A and B are shown apart, each in its own frame.
Chain A
């Protein structure tokens, strides 16, 4: 239903940054770097590039501390001290074809840019509605600030229209935020984000604080609105399972870098980076077969200072010599499914991975998540056959950290 995914154009990507329909790119970030000042500065975002095409959903997946939210703030130029952008460029192409350099915008320019061209929805945004005035007034404030020529009746009409659009009774314009449930407040925030028909909406964990059912309703709503209105979405969450469903292309972040770009639809079947594979493993499918469930051992590296080699090497079961010394580049894998790149030495022809490692570039993508049999089993006991109860899908003696039992 969307334009086909295009080249991610990472710094190391051999694919052309402006594909055949390169003019469709609405937001382009190149080599964005963000640091948090401190005694030992934290390099939270370490050279991230991405392209967002008109009408598509770009998913950014990653765990806490991987820099995904910081990236969102950098892209919208909302970073506040001690965070600051130390490098990179950001450009935005409006619907009218005008090219904007976001870093060159002054405060006035930013003010008109945000909300009318690009808007944001945060996880906590539903708590950010002003508690002392009605929902309708808050819509009116937005219109007054950005559409000064709008009359009061028109403002009211538009607010009601927007509420209806996100599935809320239009008479709720008279309600105060505390009269609405969390899910309804988040819907109101989404309606406000769409009020000025922006080109891009950045959503940072917009539904994480909500219950599953409400979360699903809101996501369905966003998906429907996007099909109708044609805005692009950058959707940021730790929930990779969710992203696989709703996004067109996916960027997986780890330790401030993008480690894999892939078409969302094919990612589950052929993740190239061991971290992506691990994340995928971490989400058991509700109706899937019972299998051994493993996460990723260890925890992310300290981002203060430089990282030697691959940031994931310490937690990676496939790590070999170059991983400790050389930082991997984001390389195109040349897969048929679409532009697909990964920053992993296993896929770099310049290095020879050890026997037993998963797919090399060019090799057919594995049809499923790499089976545990691919992995040289470290210590740990085999799966006990015929356990008395149906429950223990996960053998305690799994080959991860649980394995070494005194």
Chain B
């Protein structure tokens, strides 16, 4: 079924009612686009929930540290449970856990996003570059990704981190990015290999489009969905890696992150001492943030791939009956499935 027809060089054509055209990015100005994007977000509960949570975290990262009076200051209230004065209690040395959490959120998110950005950039260059160029460059870049894939990641990070002695934030970001790009480079390479033989890429080669333009303008936009999802998981991975490193004491203890908070809590025997207010908040932050990012990723899949969309009224009526469908022999079953997929 096509949408309305606009080859109306023919006089018998009725004018197309505007409503018949799908709401696409082609219509209207930036306001309409925003409205369309908003409708898209609203269509998936997962996406809306995930985005809301992430917005909350970003707000905290932006505003929180301004509320934190003195996260590192040692107070006189030692190991206090949550109270009016200290919303999340205090550490063994009297630091305010809430203040620490605010500052940690900013640093952890910074590390997560920056490392993911760097890792994604590397994987885009190496994956798409290799996939498109083919030949020797592809062989070499594939080899490189494969080497990085088979190197056990965490031990390498540990080795590098202990060598840099924790070092600066930038070093942490670099180390994480350096060790986490390979898997998504492989995914992107495979996708690029498939896209480069598409007819529209061949057509661009036929009219003599330059290579870099074909990659950036014809291929890259069609991998945006994959890149975004790779980026989302890279953020989660980076935050978890940093937390892991910090927990092992391989991070500069003067930087406050979720991981460092856990490290200090562990060192102070907060767990056995029952000081739950010290280690639960950072742990929960890591878990909830990871879940929120995953929700966004699944939600985007749902919105972008119409086949994953759920039509609730349809499910109620037929699904139950289909589940108890009779055993059919293989060809007929497969034929039915195929037909469904074709649609």
Contacts of A65 in B (CB 8 A): 1-2
Does B207 sit at the interface, judged by CB under 8 A? Answer: no
The answer to whether residues A315 and B318 also contact, given A82-B311, A302-B20 and a CB cut-off of 8 A, is no
- The answer on a CB contact under 8 Å between A107 and B334 is no
A104 to B146, CA, bound (A): 59
Q: How far is the CB of A113 from chain B (nearest CB, A)?
A: 10
The answer to whether residues A81 and B20 also contact, given A189-B331, A403-B9 and a CB cut-off of 8 A, is no
Choose the segment among A87-95, A137-145, A363-371 that binds chain B (4+ C-beta atoms closer than 8 Å).
A137-145
Count of residues in A whose CB is under 8 Å from the partner chain:
52
Contacts of B326 in A (CB 8 A): 107-108, 110-111
Using a CB-CB cutoff of 8 Å, which residues 351-406 of chain A contact chain B? 378-379, 400-404
Contacts of A84 in B (CB 8 A): 314, 317-318
Does B322 sit at the interface, judged by CB under 8 A? Answer: yes
CB-CB nearest in chain B for A255 = B1
Using a CB-CB cutoff of 8 Å, which residues 103-127 of chain A contact chain B? 107-108, 110-111, 114-115, 120, 122, 124-125, 127
Does B335 sit at the interface, judged by CB under 8 A? Answer: yes
Between B9, B325, B328, B342, the greatest number of chain A beta carbons within 10 A of the residue's beta carbon is seen for B9
With beta carbons under 8 angstroms apart, the residue of A42, A297, A402 that contacts B12 is A297
Q: How far is the CB of A108 from chain B (nearest CB, A)?
A: 7
Does A317 sit at the interface, judged by CB under 8 A? Answer: yes
Does B5 sit at the interface, judged by CB under 8 A? Answer: yes
CB-CB nearest in chain B for A144 = B329
Does B273 sit at the interface, judged by CB under 8 A? Answer: no
Q: How far is the CB of A254 from chain B (nearest CB, A)?
A: 12
With beta carbons under 8 angstroms apart, the residue of A69, A107, A300, A379 that contacts B325 is A107
A115 to B314, CA, bound (A): 27
A192 to B336, CA, bound (A): 16
Contacts of A80 in B (CB 8 A): 318, 322, 336, 340
1/0 contact trace for A134-175 toward B, CB 8 Å? 000010011001000000000000000000000000000000
The answer to whether residues A124 and B318 also contact, given A107-B326, A129-B331, A189-B331 and a CB cut-off of 8 A, is no
Between B2, B313, B335, B336, the greatest number of chain A beta carbons within 10 A of the residue's beta carbon is seen for B335
Contacts of A324 in B (CB 8 A): 14
Q: How far is the CB of A195 from chain B (nearest CB, A)?
A: 10
Does A313 sit at the interface, judged by CB under 8 A? Answer: yes
With beta carbons under 8 angstroms apart, the residue of A38, A124, A128 that contacts B311 is A38
The answer to whether residues A302 and B4 also contact, given A115-B332, A319-B12 and a CB cut-off of 8 A, is yes
Residues in chain B within 8 A of chain A (CB atoms): 1-5, 7, 9-14, 20, 311, 313-315, 317-319, 321-322, 324-332, 334-336, 338-340, 342
Can you list 25 A-B pairs, Cβ within 8 angstroms, ordered by A? Answer: A38-B311, A81-B315, A82-B311, A84-B314, A107-B321, A114-B328, A125-B335, A128-B334, A128-B338, A130-B330, A141-B329, A297-B12, A297-B13, A298-B10, A298-B12, A299-B2, A300-B1, A302-B1, A302-B20, A315-B12, A316-B12, A319-B12, A378-B11, A379-B11, A401-B7
Residues in chain A within 8 A of chain B (CB atoms): 37-38, 42, 65, 69, 73, 78-82, 84, 107-108, 110-111, 114-115, 120, 122, 124-125, 127-130, 138, 141-142, 145, 189, 192, 297-300, 302-303, 313-317, 319, 324, 378-379, 400-404
